[in-house]
Amino acid sequence: MMRPAIPPDRRLDHALAQMLFLKYRLGGLNRLGMATTNPRTLYQKIWDAHVVERRDDGTCLIYIDRHLVHEVTSPQAFEALRLAGRKVRRPDLTLAVPDHNLPTTARRDAQGARIPIADRESAQQLAALEHNAPEFGIRYIGDADREQGIVHVVGPEQGFSLPGATIVCGDSHTACHGGLGALAFGIGTSEVEHVLATQTLLLKQSKTMEVRVEGELTPGVTAKDVVLHITGVLGASGGTGYVIEYTGSVIRGLSVEGRLTVSNMAIEHGARAGLIAPDDKTIAYVKGRPYAPKGDDWDKAVAWWKSLATDPGATYDKVVVIDAADIAPSVTWGTSPEDVVPITGTVPAPDSFADASKRDAAAKSLAYMGLEPGQPMASVEIQNVFIGSCTNSRIEDLRAAAAVLKGRRKADTVKWAIVVPGSGLVKAMAEAEGLDRVFVDAGFEWREPGCSACLGMNPDKVPAGERCASTSNRNFVGRQGPGARTHLVSPAMAAAAAVAGHLTDVRDLI
Amino acid sequence: MEPVKEITGRAYPFGQKNVDTDVIIPSHWLKTITRDGLGRGAFETLRADPDNLFDSAEFKGSPILVAGDNFGCGSSREHAAWALFDLGVRAVIAPSFSDIFSGNAFKNGILTVVLPQEAVDRLVEVAKTDPIHIDLESQTVTTPFQDRFTFEIDPFRKHCLLHGLDEVGLTLARGDAIGAFEGTVRTDRPFLAKGTDVGVAA
């Protein structure tokens, strides 16, 4: 279209307007003189809201809103504070919960006295946290409290973890809280000490990746299958250096608990953190929880949370699009979480990988796992089933497993099957719904909350050479005990495997 | 923290890819409440093999480890860095590191050097027979065979390593700025300013 000619008597005004336009736009102001900002991603918005100071080299001092502490990665941090005569800056923004070492059998005898923990070192770590938390003024949810559980279950459940917050914990699965739209990531013990002392961390901004999962999940395919599939697509290091925002119709369609499951495993594809934009479901989930904002604070919080979604036109450094139709109930065959195939698939041949070091790794994995190339995954016999962990121990996970087990029993060849609720509150809710009966009737043990068989730090271990269909997040060599062979699956798939005695397609049972 | 300037010596020609922190230090070693003595548990599974690299007379005690892509992936346990340090490792060279591991290594005075795969392959070869020299000031890795590779490092991390600075102490000195930020949060986002003291009664 031709531009209309500017009449001579209007030319000066027009030139002036253009100059003003340029001045304001280049100066970051719109025509009304208000500041304009470039479209920003969810990650950028949370980051910007937490910058205390920016250094010339781009490193930022980032404020930490919530700090979860457990017994494994904190003793040396408290020790260092004590030696240096330093205090915890914000004990009120810190919450301590023991989880990794706690046995999942009864913790108190009939008289209410603590049953001693056999492993001396476990007991020592637990005692250190029980002692350090009150010494530094930190709220402690102990083994006898109903609210105790896995930190990543307890944080959201208590309303301590909030959308838009920066959340850290000395545990790599802290990414879990990203399911609420919080910027949450794991840190090491020196950083735990840094956060305790200063409530900040020195960080460089990560690159951003959008993983968009579009379409509709087919029956029997759950949040766990989505994240296993993503890990298979990206690889164990595909997300290194990135914070991943999970988007698309599938992610929006997931419940908040499902989103926590997806974000929980962000670290398994190498990402520093996972994020899912908070929406009405998130807000409804947080509302009324013990530490959730109340009154005026609540209204302000909701308004802010609603402003956090990625702006239209904002760009990511990388975008990966996944079609929901490609996602089947998934299972791992190897010793890296990237070793994912659909349950209908077969064990891959090491030669099938283009990368030489992956071929080598695959051959080692198969030797460790005792599997042959070409073997159908659905024929792999299992002797153990573990339903639990920060990935899959929330109420919906237990409901999904119980739905498969109702009226059925585990195969006799399955020697050990346990269900470990993520917290005492999840346990109570499940019992109120009668799920514990379903599990017990199916031949499962119904346990006390904790990290349990996800990692070999407490008495729940898988014997060497045996297989476990596990709803946890890592299939590393020795993760569930020396020589243990782990197949990562969803809760429904774990339940199906228990019934069949081998890995099997849960869709045949529903 | 001891300053890190130059690291010279034999290097473990390890080269493995995706070495996770469970391999560096298995979880049953995480039960300590101090930082010392974890070297005994470093690479425990690999060291079950009597012919392993880490206990061989030639390499035992080497200050440098040359590894494959994605070194230190998996669990965030800082025990991995403590175990390597206790084993005598002061620098790890690899094509890439997990973010958490490289942060932990830095905070414990272990230098992580990122070099392209070809350079790492070459260093694995050299390491089998000869020492390697790392100079942090000039950001170079050199060998007795005239190989010279330069690497990038965050200037702040470089400064802290060269001078052995304690990050917690540096940040505590910024207490006023942190306090000012907390004031803004109390006004603008009061819901984030209240943690466990929001109280069920509030």
Give the ipTM of the model, two decimals please. Answer: 0.89
Cβ atoms < 10 Å from Cβ of A294: 18
Reply yes or no on whether the pLDDT at B76 is more than 90. Answer: no
- Digit-coded pLDDT (tens) for A379-414: 999 999 999 999 999 999 999 999 999 999 999 999
Of A144 and B178, the structure prediction assigns the larger pLDDT to B178
Q: Residue A149's pLDDT is what?
A: 98
- Residue A69 in contact with partner chain B when CB distance is under 8 A: no
Q: Residue A22's pLDDT is what?
A: 45
CB contact under 8 A, A171 and B76: yes
- Digit-coded pLDDT (tens) for A424-441: 999 999 999 999 999 999
- Residue A410 in contact with partner chain B when CB distance is under 8 A: no
Reply yes or no on whether the pLDDT at A9 is more than 70. Answer: no
B136 CB-side CA count, 13 A = 25
Find the closest chain B residue to A74 by CA distance: B33
> Quick one: tokens of B143?
């060998």
Reply yes or no on whether the pLDDT at A267 is more than 60. Answer: yes
Stretch among A253-257, A497-501, B15-19 having the lowest mean pLDDT:
B15-19
Q: Residue A8's pLDDT is what?
A: 54
Contacts with A119 from chain B: Cβ below 8 Å: 31
- Digit-coded pLDDT (tens) for A27-44: 344 444 445 579 999 999
Q: Residue A507's pLDDT is what?
A: 98
- Digit-coded pLDDT (tens) for A42-73: 999 999 999 999 988 889 999 999 999 999 99
- Residue A272 in contact with partner chain B when CB distance is under 8 A: yes
Q: Residue B75's pLDDT is what?
A: 86
Q: Residue B198's pLDDT is what?
A: 75
The stretch B134-145 carries a mean pLDDT of: 98
432-471 in A: which are within 8 Å (CB) of B?
Answer: 455-457
Please give the share of chain A, as a percent, with pLDDT higher than 70.
93
Contacts with A472 from chain B: Cβ below 8 Å: none
- Which segments within A240-335 are labelled E, that is strand? 242-247, 273-275, 318-323, 330-332
Q: Residue B36's pLDDT is what?
A: 83
Per-residue DSSP letters for A40-69? --HHHHHHHTTEEEE-TTS-EEEE-SEEEE
The stretch A262-277 carries a mean pLDDT of: 97
Q: A313: burial class by Cβ within 10 Å (0-12, 13-18, 19+)?
A: exposed
Find the closest chain B residue to A161 by CA distance: B195
C-alpha of A152 from chain center: 8
CB contact under 8 A, B181 and A49: no
Single out the residue of A336, A207, A182 nearest to residue A269, CA to CA: A336
The stretch A293-300 carries a mean pLDDT of: 97
CB contact under 8 A, A188 and B100: yes
The stretch A182-199 carries a mean pLDDT of: 96
Contacts with B107 from chain A: Cβ below 8 Å: 188, 190-191
Of A355 and A148, the structure prediction assigns the larger pLDDT to A148
Q: Residue B125's pLDDT is what?
A: 97
Reply yes or no on whether the pLDDT at A173 is more than 50. Answer: yes
Cα A261 to Cα A184, A214, A391, B92, distances in angstroms: 14, 18, 5, 33
Q: Residue A102's pLDDT is what?
A: 96
Q: Residue B32's pLDDT is what?
A: 87
The stretch A81-91 carries a mean pLDDT of: 94
208-227 in A: which are within 8 Å (CB) of B?
Answer: none
CB contact under 8 A, B27 and A456: yes
Candidates B19, B21, B43, B78: best to mutate against A (most CBs of A within 10 A) is B78
* CATH number given to B6-163: 3.20.19.10
Contacts with B104 from chain A: Cβ below 8 Å: 188-191
Which of A61, A187, A455 lies at the smallest CB-CB distance from B27? A455
Q: Residue A456's pLDDT is what?
A: 87
Average predicted confidence (pLDDT) for chain B: 94
- Residue A242 in contact with partner chain B when CB distance is under 8 A: no
* Order of strands across the sheet that contains B91-94: B11-13, B64-66, B91-94, B111-114
CB contact under 8 A, B32 and A160: no
Cα B86 to Cα A131, B75, B105, distances in angstroms: 27, 19, 12
Reply yes or no on whether the pLDDT at A118 is more than 50. Answer: yes
Asked whether the beta carbons of A420 and A427 are under 8 A apart, the reply is no
Show the CA angle centred on residue A346, arms to residues A244 and A481, nearest 5°.
70
Please give the share of chain B, as a percent, with pLDDT higher than 70.
98
Q: Residue A26's pLDDT is what?
A: 42
Rounded to the nearest angstrom, the minimum Cα separation between A198 and chain B is 6
Show the CA angle centred on residue A261, arms to residues A257 and A266, nearest 5°.
140
Reply yes or no on whether the pLDDT at A2 is more than 90. Answer: no
Q: Residue A285's pLDDT is what?
A: 98
Residue A443: DSSP 8-state: T
Rounded to the nearest angstrom, the minimum Cα separation between B107 and chain A is 7
Contacts with A240 from chain B: Cβ below 8 Å: 70, 73, 96, 98-99
Q: Residue A176's pLDDT is what?
A: 98
Residue found under tokens 């792999």: A380
CB contact under 8 A, B172 and A160: no
CB contact under 8 A, B34 and A79: yes
DSSP alpha helices (H): ranges in B28-174? 79-87, 99-107, 117-127, 155-163, 167-172
The stretch A191-195 carries a mean pLDDT of: 97
Cβ atoms < 10 Å from Cβ of A452: 31
- Digit-coded pLDDT (tens) for A484-502: 999 999 999 999 999 999 9
Find the closest chain B residue to A129 by CA distance: B33
Q: Residue B31's pLDDT is what?
A: 85
Reply yes or no on whether the pLDDT at A3 is more than 50. Answer: no
Q: What is the set of domains in chain A, with CATH numbers?
A: 62-106+120-325 (3.30.499.10), 329-508 (3.30.499.10)
Show the CA angle centred on residue A462, arms to residues A461 and A465, nearest 5°.
145
Average predicted confidence (pLDDT) for chain A: 93
The stretch A270-275 carries a mean pLDDT of: 96
- Residue A53 in contact with partner chain B when CB distance is under 8 A: yes
**What CA–CA distance (Å, rounded) separates A51 from A241?**
19
Q: Residue A15's pLDDT is what?
A: 53
The stretch B69-93 carries a mean pLDDT of: 94
The stretch A253-260 carries a mean pLDDT of: 98
CB contact under 8 A, B174 and A199: no
- Residue A10 in contact with partner chain B when CB distance is under 8 A: no
A with B: how many residue pairs have Cβ under 8 Å apart? Answer: 209
Please name the residues in contact with B4: beta carbons below 8 A apart, sequence gap of 6 or more.
Answer: B90, B91, B109, B111, B136, B161, B162, B164
CB contact under 8 A, A293 and B191: yes
Q: Residue A24's pLDDT is what?
A: 41
Contacts with A171 from chain B: Cβ below 8 Å: 75-76
Q: Residue A93's pLDDT is what?
A: 98
- Digit-coded pLDDT (tens) for A279-290: 999 999 999 999
- Residue A200 in contact with partner chain B when CB distance is under 8 A: yes
Domain range summary for chain B, segments of one domain joined by +: 6-163, 166-194
C-alpha of A421 from chain center: 16
**What CA–CA distance (Å, rounded) separates A193 from A185?**
15
Rounded to the nearest angstrom, the minimum Cα separation between B113 and chain A is 16
